[in-house]
Amino acid sequence: MCRSIKTLRPPAMPEEATEADVRAAALQYVRKISGFRAPAAHNQEVFDRAVDAVAQATAELLDGLEVRGAGARKATSRA
């Protein structure tokens, strides 16, 4: 598990995750699974596409979650 990825949903965060929070988590995830902190130039495009895809999937997940006990609050769209 990548320890620098934090939980992005209430109540773990006092407010909703920002787009920057989602992107940072996606970057950490792609770095962890690829084994590259910064990819070589010939891998940069695929690395960036992976970060974009993970960020989009994360935003969709957070937008769709209903957290019981956190009131009637749902995440707003980040895209």
Taking only the tens of pLDDT, the chain with its 79 residues reads 456 677 888 777 767 888 999 999 999 999 999 999 999 999 999 999 999 999 999 999 999 988 777 554 454 555 5
- Say what the pTM is: 0.76
| Cβ neighbours of residue 69 closer than 8 Å, sequence gap 6 or more | 11
Which residues have a Cβ under 8 Å from the Cβ of 65 and sit 6 or more positions away?
9, 74, 75
Eight-class DSSP state of 76: P
| Cα within 13 Å of Cα(11), Cβ side | 5
Report pLDDT for 17: 85
Query: Rounded to whole angstroms, how far apart are CA atoms 64 and 13?
Result: 17
